[in-house]
Amino acid sequence: MVGPTEGGVGLRLVIAVVQDQDAPQLMDTLVDKGFRATKLATTGGFLRQGNTTLLMGVEDDEVDDVVEVVRSVCRSRTQLIPSIPVVGRSVESYVGQPIEVPVGGATIFVLDVSRFEKV
């Protein structure tokens, strides 16, 4: 068991939600820099598309390094998606034009960890 103050350093859980296409390069870069991550397949709520959630347990002084790796790999981009009909309009009269939305980048959460065990 590793406690939160062992060695005078706090433990953190970094959760990064990234686009699927960024995940392989991000995993490779994290491993190259000595960080470990658990990869989960997840689905976003807005575009209903797959994304990847990475869980990384790190010491407090490593958080900025991990965030910088994520920031350097996961870039925002735009994507065309079909627009949806407005409520009240008939579907027959609706001519949908695709709209451009920003996707990519990353959403990062950093949480305190009160206990961590490797068994």
| DSSP, res 28 | H
| Residues 58/33, Cβ–Cβ less than 8 Å | no
- Its pTM stands at 0.73
* Residue pLDDT tens, the chain, 119 long: 444 444 446 899 999 999 888 999 999 999 999 999 999 998 876 656 778 999 999 999 999 999 999 999 998 777 666 666 555 555 555 556 777 776 668 999 999 998 888 78
CA dist., res. 102 & res. 1, Å (int): 42
Read off the amino acid at residue 17.
Answer: V
Closest among 96, 93, 68 to 81, alpha carbons compared: 96
CATH: 2.60.40.1730, 3.30.70.1290, 3.30.70.120, 3.90.110.10. Which one for 6-85+104-112?
A: 3.30.70.120
Check residue 34 and give left, alpha or beta (phi > 0: left; psi -120 to 50: alpha): left
Position of tokens 């709520």? 45
Helices 63-73 and 23-32, interaxial angle, to 10°? Answer: 140
| DSSP, res 31 | H
Domain boundaries, the chain: 6-85+104-112
